[in-house]
Amino acid sequence: MVNRIIVGAHYGLKDWLAQRITALLMIGYTVIFLVVWPRPMSYAGWKALFAQGWMRFATFLLVASVLIHAWIGMRNVWMDYVKHTGLRLALEVATILWLVGCAGWAMQILWRI
Amino acid sequence: MPDLTAKKKRPLWYNLSPLNLPLPGLVSILHRVSGVVLFLGLIAFLYLLDLSLASESGYAQAVGLLRAPIAKLLVIASIWALLHHMCAGIRHLFLDVDIGTSLHTARRSAFAVFIASLALTASIAVRIW
């Protein structure tokens, strides 16, 4: 039984908005990437692309967007299909840890160049 | 003051199986499936990025990994997941701002999402095979 006031608490509005904004950022990155990726592909060109400051800045924003976007999406999936509260909490925590870890890994890849 | 508490007893189970899933519904569930696929594929993507940017030999190793037929199939599947997720997502953004919300237009845009993502995937698949 649903037993709560159903107006006035902004249920999920911020998440909803964050998912849209991160989606637009990722579309923007895709467009930029398609323009600047080295043709023909080579190690030198690939490395030079990611060595540029602005590209790292943009890729950092991409990583942050993926982190937020994937978190909201995966949380929705867990909320829809996993009814056991403890298991759902465990999966949600695992998702956050995994995504934050991946974001750290991505940063290490970019700033090591 | 009106009672805004939703306390009406609602049916807990709807039997939807006699209904055909309309095309926008199929786009919607595949949007979710492709999103989960991309989440799971994140590790492979990061591994390849790590390898390819680490050194000249790492780059060659990553290229070598991607030459295997099974890897190509996985890359093509990932590209489809990305394109479907992106096309369906762009359609969603338009629906959010109330563009294309009539049933007729929504069905046509759902069809367009399928065609666009499959056609783009096919054109990329031909090139990388």
Global ipTM: 0.88
Given a cut of 60, whether residue B58 has pLDDT beyond it is yes
**Minimum-distance CB partner of A102 among B5, B38, B46:** B46
Checking if the pLDDT of B74 tops 90, the result is yes
pLDDT at A2 over 70: no
- Residue B29's nearest CA partner among A13, A23, A77 is A77
The answer, yes or no, to whether residue A8 has pLDDT greater than 90, is no
Segment B88-98, tens digit of pLDDT? 999 999 999 99
Top residue of A24, A78, A80, A109 to mutate, by most chain B CBs within 10 Å, is A109
Q: How far is CA A112 from the centre of its chain?
A: 21
The string of pLDDT tens digits covering residues A40-78 is 899 999 999 999 999 999 999 999 999 999 999 999 999
Going from N- to C-terminal start, the domains of chain B cover 23-41+68-128
**Residue B22 banded pLDDT, cuts 50, 70, 90:** confident
- Whether residue A7 has pLDDT greater than 70: no
B117 band by pLDDT with thresholds 50, 70 and 90? very high
Higher pLDDT, residue B16 or B54 = B54
Whether pLDDT at B4 is above 70: no
Average pLDDT over residues B40-50: 96
Domains belonging to chain A, first-starting first, are 13-112 (1.20.1300.10)
Task: Report whether pLDDT(A1) > 80.
Answer: no
Mean pLDDT of B20-30: 89
> Is residue B1 scored above 60 in pLDDT?
no
Q: Where does the pLDDT of residue A18 fall: very low under 50, low under 70, confident under 90, or very high at 90 and above? A: very high
Query: Nearest chain B Cα to A112, which residue?
Result: B54
Inter-chain touch B43–A102, beta carbons under 8 Å:
yes
Q: Note the pTM of the prediction, 2 decimals.
A: 0.86
- Chain B: residue whose CA lies nearest to A47: B53
8 Å CB contact between B81 and B32:
no
- Under the banding of pLDDT at 50, 70 and 90, the label for residue B7 is low
Q: For residue A16, which of A100, A72, A77 has the smallest C-alpha distance?
A: A72
- Higher pLDDT pick, B111 / B6: B111
- Nearest by CB: A50 against B53, B90, B93: B53
Domain B23-41+68-128 belongs to what architecture? Up-down Bundle (1.20)
As a whole number of angstroms, the distance between CA A107 and CA A111 comes to 6
Per-residue pLDDT band at A103 (split at 50, 70, 90):
very high
Q: How far apart are CA B127 and CA B1, in angstroms?
A: 65
What is the dihedral angle through the alpha carbons of B75, B79, B82, B86, rounded to the nearest 10 degrees? Answer: 170
- Comparing C-alpha atoms, which of B93, B117, B52, B72 is closest to residue A19? B93
Q: Give the integer Cα–Cα distance in Å for B115 and B129.
A: 21
